[in-house]
Amino acid sequence: MPAVLSTHSYGKSGIRVTRVTRGTERHEIRELSVDVRLEGEFEASYTLGDNSQVIATDTMKNVVYALAHGRPAEAIEDFGAALACHFLDEFAHVHSAKVDLAERPWRRISVNGRDHPHAFEGGQGELRTASVTASRAGLRFEAGLAGLDLLKTTASAFSGFIRDRYTILPETADRILATEVQARWLYGRSSRVNWDDAHSRVRRALLETFAGHTSLSVQQTLHAMGEAALVACAEVDEITLTLPNKHRVLVDLQRFGKENTNEIFVATDEPYGLITGTLRRA
Amino acid sequence: MPAVLSTHSYGKSGIRVTRVTRGTERHEIRELSVDVRLEGEFEASYTLGDNSQVIATDTMKNVVYALAHGRPAEAIEDFGAALACHFLDEFAHVHSAKVDLAERPWRRISVNGRDHPHAFEGGQGELRTASVTASRAGLRFEAGLAGLDLLKTTASAFSGFIRDRYTILPETADRILATEVQARWLYGRSSRVNWDDAHSRVRRALLETFAGHTSLSVQQTLHAMGEAALVACAEVDEITLTLPNKHRVLVDLQRFGKENTNEIFVATDEPYGLITGTLRRA
Amino acid sequence: MPAVLSTHSYGKSGIRVTRVTRGTERHEIRELSVDVRLEGEFEASYTLGDNSQVIATDTMKNVVYALAHGRPAEAIEDFGAALACHFLDEFAHVHSAKVDLAERPWRRISVNGRDHPHAFEGGQGELRTASVTASRAGLRFEAGLAGLDLLKTTASAFSGFIRDRYTILPETADRILATEVQARWLYGRSSRVNWDDAHSRVRRALLETFAGHTSLSVQQTLHAMGEAALVACAEVDEITLTLPNKHRVLVDLQRFGKENTNEIFVATDEPYGLITGTLRRA
Amino acid sequence: MPAVLSTHSYGKSGIRVTRVTRGTERHEIRELSVDVRLEGEFEASYTLGDNSQVIATDTMKNVVYALAHGRPAEAIEDFGAALACHFLDEFAHVHSAKVDLAERPWRRISVNGRDHPHAFEGGQGELRTASVTASRAGLRFEAGLAGLDLLKTTASAFSGFIRDRYTILPETADRILATEVQARWLYGRSSRVNWDDAHSRVRRALLETFAGHTSLSVQQTLHAMGEAALVACAEVDEITLTLPNKHRVLVDLQRFGKENTNEIFVATDEPYGLITGTLRRA
């Protein structure tokens, strides 16, 4: 046999669960999509078709539903930890369980200026994410966000870059900067974290820095955003930001006898710049 | 020749345009996607390859950019009318011009509780739409919205429906009702309309009715929403609502020794009920 | 009450069904997505919340599953007719039932040059579609295809169009022509049709005409394709073609000291031309 | 300053390029999407907004276009290597350049049984992929495929797995097995590889093994497929397979008085099992 199975894992992805907490006055709703992924002693299922150590992925789905029941309207980090620990506690041959969670936000509908007790709008756009990994060494918590669209119409420049025979991009002192933020940050192992509050502080630092920063490049804005997040949330050890540069291309209107002083742009999806960086607490 | 060209039209779709209005204190941003569609005397391009009456779709795109320039941060209905009229005014052989517009909303980022003058978040989710048709008989204005996710956790029932040999759905007095509203409404030709205000009144009527209505079926909720829109906005002659029933399926937890009293659900994308209806002012 | 319910319909969409026909030697597989839509006397469900005439959309889904069982590996037109007739036959208050079907193709995997009896590849890309409407007046059959990508690298020109102050597109005698064909055709009511054979003849006519036609415009190619379909299939009364112009934009390489003689292009998704036309048998 | 920039990279993604090779008799067409990603001495752009070492991502795009010109209709591995080496050769401060390429296939349209010289169909579905990384240590070649849908209607079982209080999945000796293969394989550094031939041999091994293998689990099928690929292509050192289990759920027809002997299924998108594994040459 020429082959060695060097790494392997398996699990269930896209487990959607809606949790309603039915208070006497008002209802809470949380909608998640959960992925479960296990590593451990599953080689025989690959090499021999011996399933005696296999936890069916259908069972993983049921665990998500069953554990969601009876729990409070908690942060996704806590729910993820409960799930990850379940698999480690129940099965000695599981080495690690990774649970990825993504929550779509629902906002209460405002009726006559008052929040409605059980009717909601939203459910699209930005996601709050978490990734909880349980291993025999302990728990590891990452949190994040995805799908957060940000745009500024000025206070963004890009100049001084290398010019060679393939460079035609003009330098600019004033452009639109638009991105769809993907952020993931790692909490320190020793800290007790208020997940909702920490998430809110990191998110606010990212937004306010994006807004207030005078940008010389996406790279520089990324660094400023990451630094601000570390300042705003001492519980965070490390943050990774992925910022696509969602170009707004200035339209040449001179051909139609008009001067376009940064007013009319075309949004393009492809190609796009993609800038990433990880900042660690020094 | 066996074939007659019975109907035909052509145009440019997906023309994206970003308009920045640069005030001294603050900037406005509007991001649209525009479709232009013409009907008229274009038969010869189909039957003979004679392009002498063809306005190139690339030219349509340029018209969108050029007309966007220098205009105020107006409602999409007004921009659509300017575009549609351009083609009718310029070309005698155009019989009608239809312009569909969809606007993605951007909200100002709040920094220390104050709206930022030039930084924005959002850009996903709900769209504001309009469809302006210019013909030799005049202008026709439709407005609408799409991608508006609504959900209520209670005050929704479904019972009393036909039971036959293929019916297994249980009756329910209390279910989650979730939908993604698509609405289009037609303004009366005689009215002077404040487009932004009218859109806001229709939208609020749809949301508040969804929230407050005790639903016996999606059909009944649709009717109540449409009626409320007609009441809220006298300028509207007719409204069409399309409401997918985005099912939240109650999970059977009895198999795991738990009672699920409307707390744990699974969101499913397919299949989905699809309920439509058009209400006209009597 | 200010509102009149002028039109309404409802149904179930996205009903996916996989049918395996298990022969002794080999298996057949058909995978469909089905939409059912009913019109009839359903007003009271909208206006009064009276569901006594409502066939639950969940029941429609069950009918699709149940009727799929025991039938041969038939054409989607026949399955659609069985479904549409079911609702008309069972319920006197249903005025019309429209069934839309889309089939994803699976091809047998070739092993040592021989078709495998029960293993398949594919399942993406082009769809075969049908739309069967049953009313008290009889059955109406439309067939079609969608998602068929076609491209030719030459034998396509576009010139002689109107030039005005917004026109910058150069004339061209040689360009790439690419499209994603959506076609729908209507069968005559009197004809007995071999659905698979008719579909195959129309499809071949569309492809061969696209390939062989020397195109002066997308409009002209559309007309030629439609005409060829009517010639190839006498059972078809009418065909509607929707041809997006999926632009391949010639890249300016002169800036890099190179001459681009129709070799290097950029595919763009937006904006795109959109050409439609309906041809009827004269 | 509390933060250290621990890792960073940037580049251009979604660079689409269409290459036509215009022979006298027939044309070839290749359509790619290319991502370029650089690592190197770019810290100052992040920390100081100093762009003097930044190669603009717009320039990367131009390099793709310019280098595509004049090259033969080569394999994507060779084009990727030319691109990756360009950045390393031109810029001493670039430590590594990674180029990801994905090719959509076009097939010639058959007209009267003969391949057309310049008209093509297809362009959707399965992608051929490659990833070429150039560093000062040399070149690293990965190839792969994505979006390959496979399905077998029998010869697939799943039984003998762990049963606990959350397990309700019945054991089955005969089920549909469906997946969308994502495969990536690493070529050995020392080998001279005929890229097209190697890709074809790996692909055939994956398909034929999927078809012929009597599956006791997705894991076992994955292992068999990976092993067959290593056998079929000595140039490959390692292969990683990602196999989502695209469930076809047997429909309960007993409620409608029918017996469903593995004939009627529902395809579901979510949730899905996800099985991965990497096999190395021993």
pLDDT in tens, A57-70: 999 999 999 999 98
The chains found to touch D (3+ Cβ pairs under 8 angstroms) are A, B, C
pLDDT at D72: 83
H or E element: which one contains D14?
strand D3-22
DSSP-derived secondary structure for chain B = --EEEEEEEEEEEEEEEEEEEE-SS-EEEEEEEEEEEEEES-HHHHHT---TTPPPHHHHHHHHHHHHTT--S--HHHHHHHHHHHHHHH-TTEEEEEEEEEEE-EEEEEETTEEEEEEEEE-SS-EEEEEEEEETTEEEEEEEEEEEEEEESSSB-B-S----TT--PPPBSS--EEEEEEEEEEE-TT----HHHHHHHHHHHHHHHHHH--BS-HHHHHHHHHHHHHHH-TTEEEEEEEEEE--EEEP--GGGT---SS-EEEE--SSEEEEEEEEEE-
Nearest in space to A74 (alpha carbons), one of A135, A32, A16: A32
Q: Give me the pLDDT at residue B1, please.
A: 58
Q: If you search the block for the tokens 């007209």, which residue do you land on?
A: D111
Is-contact D134 D43, C-beta < 8 A? no
Q: CB distance from D219 to chain A under 8 Å?
A: yes
- CB-CB: which of A66, A90, A162 is closest to D55? A162
| Host H or E run for residue C225 | helix C218-232
B113 touches chain D (CB under 8 A): no
Residues with pLDDT less than 70, chain D: 1
Inter-chain Cβ pairs, chain C and chain D, closer than 8 A = 185
- B254: contact with D, CB 8 A cutoff: no
C-alpha dihedral (D153, D154, D159, D161), degrees to nearest 10: -40
The ipTM assigned to this model is: 0.95
Active site residue C12: yes
Of B75, B211, B66, residue with least CA distance to B148:
B211
Is residue B261 within 8 Å of residue B218, measured between CB atoms? no
Q: Residue B60 pLDDT more than 60?
A: yes
Catalytic-labelled residue, pool D57, D95, D118, D223: D57
Any chains having at least 3 CB pairs less than 8 A from chain B are A, C, D
Q: What is the pLDDT of residue B70?
A: 87
Element (H, E) at D63: helix D57-68
Share the mean pLDDT of chain A.
96
pLDDT at D191: 73
Whether residue C190 has pLDDT greater than 90:
no
CA distance C272 to chain A (A): 13
| Mean pLDDT of the region C253-276 | 97
Q: Kind of pairing, strands A94-104 and A106-111? A: unpaired
Whose structure tokens read 């280098």? D67
Question: Is B8 part of the annotated catalytic residue set?
Answer: no
Let me know how long chain B is: 282
> What is the rounded (10 degree) CA torsion for B21, B23, B27, B29?
-20
Residues of chain B found within 8 Å of residue C61, distances taken between Cβ atoms: 271
Of A48, A159, A222, the CB nearest to D46: A222
Nearest CA in chain D to A38: D275
Q: CA D241 → CA A216, C49, C83, D85, distances in Å?
A: 42, 53, 41, 28
Quickly list DSSP for A9-51: EEEEEEEEEEEEEE-SS-EEEEEEEEEEEEEES-HHHHHT---
Burial, B192: exposed, middle or buried (Cβ in 10 Å; 0-12, 13-18, 19+)?
Answer: exposed
- Average pLDDT of chain D to the nearest whole number: 96
**C-alpha–C-alpha distance, residues A54 and D163, integer Å:** 9
- Concerning whether D86 is annotated as a catalytic residue, the answer is no
Please pick, among A27, A57, A116, A153, the residue that the annotation labels catalytic: A57
Given B27, B57, B116, B118, which residue is catalytic? B57
CA distance C252 to D79: 20
Question: Which residues of chain C neighbour A168 with C-beta distances below 8 Å?
Answer: 255
Give the predicted TM-score (pTM) of the model: 0.97
pLDDT digits (tens, 9 = 90+) for D20-60: 999 999 999 999 999 999 999 999 999 999 999 999 999 99
Entry field: residues in chain C = 282
Residue D32's pLDDT is 97
User: If pLDDT is split at 50, 70 and 90, which confidence band does A1 have?
Assistant: low
Cβ <8 Å between D158 and A51 = yes
Nearest residue in chain D measured CA to CA from C265: D18
Q: pLDDT at position B95, please?
A: 98
Given a contact cutoff of 8 angstroms between Cβ atoms, the answer to whether C211 and D111 are in contact is yes
B131 neighbors B98 (Cβ within 8 angstroms) = yes
pLDDT at position D1 is 58
